[in-house]
Amino acid sequence: MNFVLTINVAIISKPGLGLRFDGGSVFSRGTSVVSEQHHEILGTKRLVGISTDLLTQSPAPLSLSALSEKFFVSRSSIVEDLKKVEAWLATFALTLIRDHSGTYIHGNDLNIRMALKDIITVSVLSQYQTADSRIDRFSRTKLVDQFGKVNVDNCISLIGLIEDELTCAISEPYYTNLFSHLLVTIRRAAGLTAQSDVQTYTRHEGKEWTIAEKAVSWLQDEYRMILPAIEVSYIYQYLISSGRHTLTSGDSLPLPLNSEADRYADGLIRESSEDLGLDLSLDNKLRHDLAQHIKPMLNRLAYGIAIHNPLLDEIKSELGSAFNAVKKAADRINQKYGYADISDDEVAYLTIYLQTALDKFRAAKKIIIVCSSGVGTSQLLSSRINRAFPEWEIIAIVPGSQLSNTLEMKACDLIISTIKLEDIELPVAYVSAIFSKKDIARVSERLFSDENMKEKHHAG
């Protein structure tokens, strides 16, 4: 599995323990395919339980006897389970230590949190949730069983208070992301002797920072504990990465400005269009919607915040062409401008926007062809249009002199003509009889211009 490391790494040797990989303070997994070990750990209740206990108690050790009694299996079974857990933990740059005190996890607190969030989002929420749901009753039951009713209820209540302060609802997948972060924070902070080892952060001005401060204060009052000051920064990062809250012009946070999101959207549309063989660059709605999604996405990439897409496998299967085109385009853009690697989950969300635009453009349309040339040329033009736009229906091929009579009898969405037409209210795309790539672009431009005018009219 590939890793993205944002600071120096090292291999540390300890006598009697072996080698340990030190991944630094900020760690994120790359975009490679999830391993079989990953599926086995997060798909097995006992392995999830063992992993959760080790992660939440770390660095406090757990004994084999205690784990054996809790999960009703032999010590030898626990030993085999720990081998699988150890391999999975390594993907987060975490090490499983076994010594005279027991078994415990050694590693950075941020990486421990990432592993816990992976358990929540993959082993619990993704099994039951749909793309538009929040914490449904099935997921809630499993979360309560794993993390406790009070903790689950408090996370839901706190997000409700945050939404009241924001005066808007946090939609999926951002709700689930914030929920899992808060749940991990509670489980890691409650009763821990070791607090977060990341102490440096930047304080920011603005509504989101104030709300994050209130959230941390609420947690401290509710659990009667003191959280590290950096917890405010963590919650703030999730709020500005939620897709609803962007930075103000006066904010000093070194994150992408709106122009970067616009540039990213333009590049994504342009490069994806080349692979898909259809120019979507004139679709104003697509550009606007993509830029709005990309603004918080760039925040997530900057902070290493991962989101889960419950429809990822379906999108890869059903929208494979669009997904692959978007992934290649995003990888090129990220490499060009120095952004962090983008996950398949993020690519899947971007793909939905592109596919929506493709479906809108390719939707069945009734076409009339106007051509002054002979029958052979008309048939050539018709066949090339059918090949470029197979969903479209050519309802008539007529000379210019018969167009008015044809329009009185037949309704159409677009006229494609090789000759100049006068006094036609319907959209007209002028092409050559050969219908080259330039002609396909002209048809696309005419349709998108018409769609953009309709959207402006409705908006007005």
Instruction: Round to whole Å and give the CA distance between 118 and 120.
Output: 5
- Residue 138 sits in the same domain as residue 235: yes
CATH of the domain at 376: 3.40.50.2300
What confidence score (pLDDT) does residue 167 get? 87
Q: Would you say residue 422 lies in a domain?
A: yes
Residue that terminates a domain, selected from 333, 361, 389: 361
Of 148, 358, 346, 207, whose CA–CA distance to 269 is shortest?
358
Percent of the chain with pLDDT over 70: 79
pLDDT at 457: 47
pTM flag (> 0.85): no
CB atoms within 10 A of CB 204: 19
Same domain membership, residue 391 and residue 357: no
Length of the chain: 460
When mean pLDDT is compared over 228-232, 316-320, 443-447, the highest value belongs to 316-320
Are 64 and 73 contacting, i.e. CB atoms less than 8 angstroms apart? no
Site of tokens 């925040």:
299
| Rounded distance between C-alpha atoms, residue 16 and residue 97, angstroms | 11
| CATH code, domain with 93 | 1.10.10.10
Question: Are residues 325 and 341 part of one domain?
Answer: yes
pLDDT for residue 94: 94
Burial class (CB in 10 A: 0-12, 13-18, 19+), 208: buried
Please indicate, yes or no, if residue 245 is contained in any of the structural domains. Answer: no
| Tens digit of each residue's pLDDT (9 = 90 or more) over 319-358 | 999 999 999 999 999 999 999 999 999 999 999 999 988 8
Please state whether the peptide bond connecting residue 59 to the residue before it is cis, i.e. omega within 30 degrees of 0: yes
Report H helices in 224-257: 230-240
pLDDT class of 374 with cuts at 50, 70, 90: low
Mean pLDDT (whole number) for 192-218: 77
Q: Which CATH number does the domain housing residue 262 bear?
A: 1.10.1790.10
Q: Rg for the chain (alpha carbons), in Å? A: 28
Say if residue 49 is in the same domain as residue 82.
yes
Backbone angles phi, psi at 198, to 5 degrees: -105, 115
Q: Is residue 120 part of a domain?
A: no
Which structural domain range is residue 312 located in?
258-361
How far apart are the C-alpha atoms of 177 and 241, rounded to whole Å?
Answer: 10
Contact 223, 190 (CB under 8 A): yes
Query: Which amino acid, residue 287?
Result: R
On whether the CB atoms of residues 304 and 28 are closer than 8 A, the answer is: yes
Distance from C-alpha of 74 to C-alpha of 65, rounded to nearest angstrom: 9
pLDDT number for residue 19: 40
Q: What pLDDT is stored for residue 268 in this prediction? A: 96
Q: Are residues 93 and 193 in the same domain?
A: no
Say which range, 122-131, 294-303, 352-361, has the weakest mean pLDDT: 122-131
**Would you state the pLDDT for residue 108?**
85
Local confidence band at 205 (pLDDT 50, 70, 90 cut-offs): confident
- What is the Cα–Cα distance from 113 to 93, expressed in whole angstroms? 12
Q: Could you tell me which of 452, 172, 453 has the C-alpha nearest to residue 286?
A: 452
In a domain, residue 252? The reply is no
Mean pLDDT of the chain: 80
Of residues 25 and 179, more confidence is placed in 179
Last residue of a domain, one of 188, 213, 240: 240
In tens, the pLDDT along 15-38 reads 444 444 344 433 344 333 345 556
Would the pLDDT of 263 be above 90? yes
Do 292 and 339 sit in the same domain of this protein? yes
Confidence of residue 254 (pLDDT cuts 50, 70, 90): very low
Which range, of 69-78, 176-185, 255-264, 426-435, averages the lowest pLDDT?
255-264
Residue-wise pLDDT tens digits, 399-421: 888 898 999 899 998 999 988 88
Same domain, 277 and 351: yes
| Residue with more model confidence, 284 or 350 | 350
Residue 247 lies in a domain: no
| Cα(257)–Cα(213) distance, integer angstroms | 24
Distance CA 123, CA 139 (A): 10
Give the contacts of 457 (CB within 8 A, at least 6 positions apart). none
Domain count, the chain: 4
DSSP, res 190: T
Average pLDDT for 129-158 = 76
Query: Which has the minimum average pLDDT: 134-148, 247-261, 327-341, 349-363?
Result: 247-261
More confident position, 53 or 145: 53
Instruction: Indicate whether 350 and 376 sit together in one domain.
Output: no
Neighbours of 457 (CB within 10 A): 8
Mean pLDDT of 66-73: 92
User: Which region among 30-34, 197-201, 284-288, 354-358 has the lowest average model confidence (pLDDT)?
Assistant: 30-34
Burial of 327 (0-12, 13-18, 19+ CB in 10 A): buried
Statement to judge: residues 430 and 451 lie in one domain:
yes
Please report whether residue 425 resides in a domain. Answer: yes
**Are 382 and 450 within one domain?**
yes
In a domain, 357, yes or no: yes
99 and 174 assigned to the same domain: no
Domain edge (last residue) among 311, 338, 361 = 361
- What is the rounded average pLDDT of the residues 80-100? 92
Contact (Cβ atoms closer than 8 angstroms) between residue 41 and residue 47: yes
For residue 27, list its beta bridge partners. Answer: 5
pLDDT at 173: 79
Same domain, 344 and 368: no
Residue 127 lies in a domain: no
Mutual angle of helices 45-57 and 36-43, in 10-degree steps? 90
